[in-house]
Structure 1
Amino acid sequence: MKTSLFCILLVISFSNLLGQESVQDSVTYLDEVILVDPVKNKAAKGITASNVIKGKIFQNQSPIDFAATINQIAGVHMFSGALNTNRITIRGVGARTPFGTDKIRLYYNDIPVTNGTGFSTIEAFDLENLNAIEIIKGPKSAAYGTNLGGAMLLRTTEVETTGTTVSNNFTAGSYGLIKNNLSLSHADEKLNFNMHYGHMSTDGYRENNSFDRDGLLLNLSRIINSKSTVSLLVNYIDYTAQIPSSLSQTAFDEDPTQAAFTWNASQGFEANKYTLVGLSHTYKFNEKFRNTTGLFYSYLDHYEPRPFNILDEYTNGYGFRSNFSGNFDLNGQEATYNFGGEFYRDEYKWQTFENLYRDNNGNGSLEGDQISNNKEYRRQFNGFGVITLPLSSRLKAQAGLNINKTHYDFRDLFTIGAGNKNAKRNFDLLILPSLSMEYGLGGGSRIYANVSRGFSNPSLEETLTPDGLINPEIEQETGTNYELGTKLFFWPKTNLWLDITFYRMDIKNLLVAQRVGEDQFIGKNAGKTRHQGIELQLDYRFNLGNNTTLSPSVGYTVNDHSFKEFVDGDDDFSGNPLTGVPKHRLHFSSRLEHKKKFYWTATYQYVDDIPLTDANSLSSDAYGIFSSQMGYNTSVSEKLSLGINIGVNNIFDTTYARSVLINAVGFGGNAPRYFYPGNDRNYYGGVQLAYRL
């Protein structure tokens, strides 16, 4: 492991102007410092463990760095090749997905935003608009889809102080970064209103790497009467991002700022317009029973010129989610339950065209003749139920059940006659149980255990044969998760919170996406994997006196993931470490705060080497990255608050690959391109203003 001295910066910053929700009322002194929810959490509806990032933890990183924020959690790794090229893996699940995030269910204010094949796009959301990120690792939460990787719940900021506030956060930095977030919020006895407009632009670290985004978020909640509350969410994002793509080992060593040659020549990019609308109603039948039902609609218009073709696609999705929750007395103690279901249906239409960039006099991509025209209808239903029963004053049991039904309907609109490829795939009904036990040790500490079943759907590419037909033999991945953990809380003597988890998950019908062309992948079920490891999360708070605190946090992951059975043609990879997963990951952060005004944070992220091929013949280099930020905030007047901040990432200018592509294949005699270079040393600073009307 590389080690270095920390570099100290003196700067000024602004803390959260509207305040943050406490993780739990009984432990507010650790509010905005700890990364884990002490006893219960919103997602679990009982005792299932999750991890939460919230409050000032967001300040540890740049406001554009989703990956560094999420990578603070043990067991979770977000690869980020660019602002628009991200892949999130949890406990190694999703590591084999070539591009993007798969096998993890993503929710935005409890609205499912994962598409019909299980693909999620986290870059469609602005980090500055979030109040919390909750991560459920593994399939143990029946209420949120039981995907093998788990679920990620993004929650927007809510106004917690009565009155009206206008605030503006402005950030500038290296690579021509400009980011501005303007918000208007209001809260009274009946209405909670929050609206954000955000703009961001940057030239990027590499060639052909610019990013330009505008976004609008409206979050409104209205209390109708003592029983009814109506909420409205509108999120709109419009961004255009150039694509530098990955580099070969030689190109990466020579100059990591260069783009892949063909992507630079074609000036490849993607343009996205994304809209999400959700309307929900909460009805309180009585003190012990309520329901929340929401309707949602999403639309994505995506246009992407690539060297090998031009992709033009759109996705229309809609559905509902309904959740009933309540509690009842059992032997003088409270038992809780929730049940409901969610339905999602989308229509995905995509066309490809020739890219005539070679004939465009160096002006980049030029649309030529149409190559394909396809449409796919996807629908999925999840039904769930969870009940938590107190077996004694310290012992609780939680049983959960999720049922899933998935259907694909593929239409070839380009080929007519005998060559038509229309096909349907109706997957079997999956019944996925979960059982958890928790024993309270007192003072918020506990020991828990879980056994649960989960699944992952094949992606669109994985459902097709090399001829573009639906593959009737492809199966859903399924697995069983075993987990044992302890959450120890040592306050008031030491202000220490310790979370240790041991887990093992066996997955069968492993889905393998095999690249057979520059824009063609096929899938097959190639065997079994075993995911096992240890996760440690530690948070501590030192009271240094004079209203000064020091709060270090450590997240450490040991991954022992391997192919249990994996035969690919004539190659037997059984026993090899799982491709695309580092064995060790370490995140360390420390926050020094004085009188809740001045703060200084320092972070270190270590990632072990990563196997890049199933044969383990090539690996990326391990790396360690230091970053830091400081700040100060002050009240200019009774109504006006002001702050500035400054930070630096990759202090020691380490050259590293922030994302990798596994089992890369070279075409046209070119070397395989495995590496997405990380940014060099870069700086950012911001000014924040808030005025309470």
Structure 2
Amino acid sequence: MERDIDTARAELGGIAGNVSVIPADKYQEGVVLGLQEAFAGVPGVYVRNPSGQVSARLSIRGSGISAPSGLRGIRLLRDGLPLGRTDDLGDTIYADPAGANYIELYRGANSLQYGAATLGGAINLVSPTGYTHPGAEWRMEGGPDGYLKGQVRAGQSFGNGLDAYASISSARTNGYRENSGHTVTRFYGNLGYRFDARSQGRLHVTSEHYRVQMPGPLTLGQLLEDPSAANPDNLRSDSHIRTAPRWHVAYQHDWRVGDADKLSMGVFHTGTKFVSPAASRVTHYDARDYGASLRHEINRERDGRKHRFVWGANYGRGSSENQVFLPDDWPRSPYLPAPGSEVVSIGARRSSFELFAENSLGISSDVALIVGAQAAWAERRTANKVSPVAASFFADGSGSDRYFGFSPKLGLLWDVRPQAQVFANISRSFEPPNSLAFYTQEGNLEAQRATTLELGTRGGGKDFGWDAAVYHAWIRNELVEFPLAAYPGAVLARNADRTRHMGLELGLHGTLPLARVPGGLEWDIAYTWNHFRFDGDATYGNNALPGIPQHVARFGLVYRHPQGFYGGPSIELASSSDVDQANTLKAPGYGLVNFTLGYKDPGERYRIFIDARNLTNKYYVATTDYVVNAGSRDRAVFYPGQTRAVYIGFQANW
């Protein structure tokens, strides 16, 4: 059954933890390059797009901090069903914010109602339908370096229980860096049918084609001198990824049971296949995942006290074949395999099963006690054929392992007054290693487990509102990297004994009326403090975990006229961050100034905007590679952010 954004906000307001709802209309006021725009003003989410790469690095509360790209430990969902692999290894390119009606963000164990119990939590894209997006829309965006993006989408309900929605989009750019262009073409559609007032089914179909060039990292000196340059090896080999294509099919059926209960069952099947040439290798990847989910929500109210019980199960299986070949131009040598020969073959298998339940019991009219738990079983298998030339990266032979985790949660939610809440929770999280990384030269990896304490408050309205949370996670066996003793200079995934993740997530927003000018000023502040460290490690002591700045902030100010004009600046700030686990090298902090100016027709027939980014043309580090011990400022591990750019956009609705 369709949920509008107000219903979603009300439901998430019953969670004893920090959650957010991000409306698409908010981030569509300017250019939408990816998830970075959707989460720009959301505290607790670190997302950065290196210039020239459509894929973003995303982390919530330090999840997947050692992932070289994309994300790990965050479940990507569309309408509650997985978008990525069943072991939660994925890429932000799979989640298209331009195709969502709104986005739900569940930090940490607050995602338990969908069965996820990971350190990062879950991101749920809620799709438009023929009911929530009636009519047609055409949107165009353009900018520097040949950037052009077009999207046509339409929805309709036919009055006989049938409705349909479809979207076709294509984006391309040459990129401002050398070897940084990309072309992304997407189709997404859903078809729904209401069998009666209490039963509805919906089929989702996605097909996506990517060709993304990879400019590679630079040294800090190279970046500050000329951030438009590519890494010489990436440029020489035309490093890129090309899918053929990526597809996703899902079906979900919802029943309304009684007056307030909901039952949902869904199945999904997804496939990803790509070829990725690079300087020292050519990678072929082919993965398939499928699964099913069940979710039952029971709602009761007695004597003014609300009672909500959610239980369900998730099951998933997947397989992937990964082959690595030497490039055709590899130097010939009697001591090395011939050019074009296979050096790595990995056949990975994975499965998971989750049972979950969460009970919210009103112990008074304004206090709710939340008790929940997840039991998860996971299996990993692999069959590796690794030649000696790649033995420092992958383990040869076959391996398998089984993982079990029980993750309880206890929370308290207090409605201090109608528009103010205080919450607290303590929870466990459980993350088995993915099927590509669990089998190493030093044995199988353990599952990452954590205990997290969270305290927070939220409330207010249009004039002034807030959401704030502090958390402390004690983590065992966090998945990071360590040197490989048998191969000097090589590293491999390994479990750290103990680490700690602490943080503050603060969001403030409000509206200031203007005495002599029609309209008002909308302002927002998003601040995140990240404190991620080893905890008495034998090698790294209490060193900071690298990759994410300790302080990240955004300040936005927008003037809105009653006739539809809007405009104002935003400022993004980030402190310096450690690049390596040994804490020998830092990426400098930065400050960016942006400005958006637009007009939205009061009748919502059209919108036009200008979106200017990085007005001071700052050369800055957007992300870095995860490094164990940099040892030198001359390491090529830095990825520059976008320099000054001005985008324009137009959207028409009918």
TM-score by length of 1: 0.86
Q: Note the 1:277-356 alignment, pairs <5 A.
A: 277-356=249-328
- Residue 287 of structure 1 and its aligned partner are, at CA, apart by 1.4
CA separation of 1:543 and 1:379: change in aligned 2, threshold 3 A: same
Please say if residues 60 and 628 of structure 1, whose CA atoms lie closer than 8 Å, have aligned partners that are also in contact.
Answer: no
600-609 or 204-213: which moved more? 600-609
Q: After the TM superposition, which residues 462-541 of structure 1 pair with which residues of structure 2 at under 5 Å, given as runs? A: 462-466=437-441, 471-472=443-444, 474-489=445-460, 491=461, 495-514=463-482, 522-541=492-511
Match of 2:6 among 17, 21, 24: 24
Aligned pairs (5 A) from 1:89-104: 89-104=59-74
Provide the C-alpha distance between the structure 2 equivalents of 1:315 and 1:601, rounded to a whole number of angstroms. Answer: 44
1:424 aligns with one of 393, 396, 400: 400
Aligned: 1:148 with 2:130 = no
Supply the distance in 2 between the matched residues of 1:208 and 1:383 (Cα, whole angstroms): 46
Matched, 1:673 2:641: no
Deviation at 1:67, TM superposition (A): 1.6
* Percent of aligned pairs with the same amino acid: 22
Question: Does the Cα contact within 8 Å between 2:224 and 2:619 map onto a contact in 1?
Answer: no
SS at match of 2:49: strand
- Verify the 8 A CA contact 1:141 1:400 in the aligned structure 2: no
Query: Out of 99, 105, 116, which is 1:135 matched to?
Result: 105
1:515 CA drift (Å): 6.7
Q: Distance in 2 between matches of 1:615 and 1:369?
A: 36
* 2:379 aligned to which of 407, 410, 427: 407
Deviation at 1:182, TM superposition (A): 0.7
C-alpha offsets along residues 479-508 of structure 1, whole Å, 9 cap, x if unaligned? Answer: 01101111131x5xx821111212111101
* In structure 2, C-alpha distance between the alignment counterparts of 1:599 and 1:654, rounded to whole Å: 25
Structure 1 residue 314, shift from structure 2 partner: 0.6
Match of 1:59 in 2: 28
Q: Give secondary structure in 1 for the equivalent of 2:36.
A: helix
Choose from 128, 139, 143 the match for 1:157. Answer: 128
Show the counterpart of 1:660: 624
Cα deviation for residue 596 of structure 1 reads 5.2
Matched, 1:256 2:227: yes
2:53–2:213 CA contact under 8 A, matched in 1: no
CA distance in 2, matches of 1:598, 1:66: 25
Counterpart for residue 28 of structure 1: none
User: Cα RMSD between the aligned structures?
Assistant: 2.7
Q: In the alignment, does 2:612 pair up with 1:648?
A: yes
Alignment check: 8 A CA contact 1:664 1:673 kept? no
Give, as a single letter, the amino acid of the residue that structure 1 aligns with 2:318: D
Partner of 2:541: 574
Which segment drifts farther, 126-135 or 395-404?
Answer: 126-135
User: How many angstroms does 1:615 deviate by?
Assistant: 2.2
Asked if residue 623 in structure 1 is aligned to residue 590 in structure 2, the reply is yes
- 1:262–1:515 distance in 2 versus 1, CA, 3 Å: farther
Counterparts in 2 of 1:520 and 1:282: CA distance versus 1, 3 Å: farther
Say if 2:654 is the partner of 1:685: no
Task: Tell me if structure 1 keeps the 8 A contact 2:581–2:628.
Answer: no
The residue identity in structure 2 corresponding to 1:405 is W
Q: Deviations over 1:132-182 (max 9, x none)?
A: 2222122233223110111111222344568x5222101111110010001
Preserved contact between residue 24 and residue 100 of structure 2 (Cα < 8 Å): no
CA distance change for structure 1 residues 475 and 67 in 2, over 3 Å: closer, same or farther?
A: same
Which of 67, 73, 85 does residue 42 from structure 2 map onto? 73
State the alpha-carbon separation in 2 of the partners of residues 420 and 615 from structure 1. Answer: 29
Q: Given residue 447 of structure 1, which amino acid in structure 2 is its aligned partner?
A: V
Contact 2:382-2:439 within 8 A present in 1 as well:
no
Question: CA shift at 1:372, angstroms?
Answer: 2.5
- Residue 458 of structure 1 pairs with residue 433 of structure 2: yes
Bigger RCO (CA 8 Å, 6+ sep): 1
Q: Which residue of 2 aligns with 1:590?
A: 557
Give deviations 1:359-385, integer Å, cap 9, x for gaps: 79xxxxx98122232211100111111
* Equivalent of residue 352 in structure 2, options 377, 380, 396: 380
Asked if the contact 1:39/1:445 (under 8 Å) is kept, the reply is no
TM-score (norm: length of structure 2): 0.91
CA distance in 2 between counterparts of 1:241 and 1:328 reads 50
Q: Deviations over 1:304-346 (max 9, x none)?
A: 0111111001101100111011112344533111111111111
Q: CA 1:200/1:414 → structure 2, altered by over 3 Å: closer, same or farther?
A: same
1:95 Cα offset (Å) = 1.8
Describe the superposition over 1:370-428 as per-residue Cα deviations: whole angstroms up to 9, x where unpaired: 2232211100111111111000011111111111111011123678xxx971221111x
Q: Offset of 1:477 from its aligned partner?
A: 0.9
Aligned equivalents of 2:617, 2:386: Cα separation in 1: 50
Offset of 1:104 from its aligned partner? Answer: 1.2
Cα distance in 1 for partners of 2:121, 2:490 equals 28
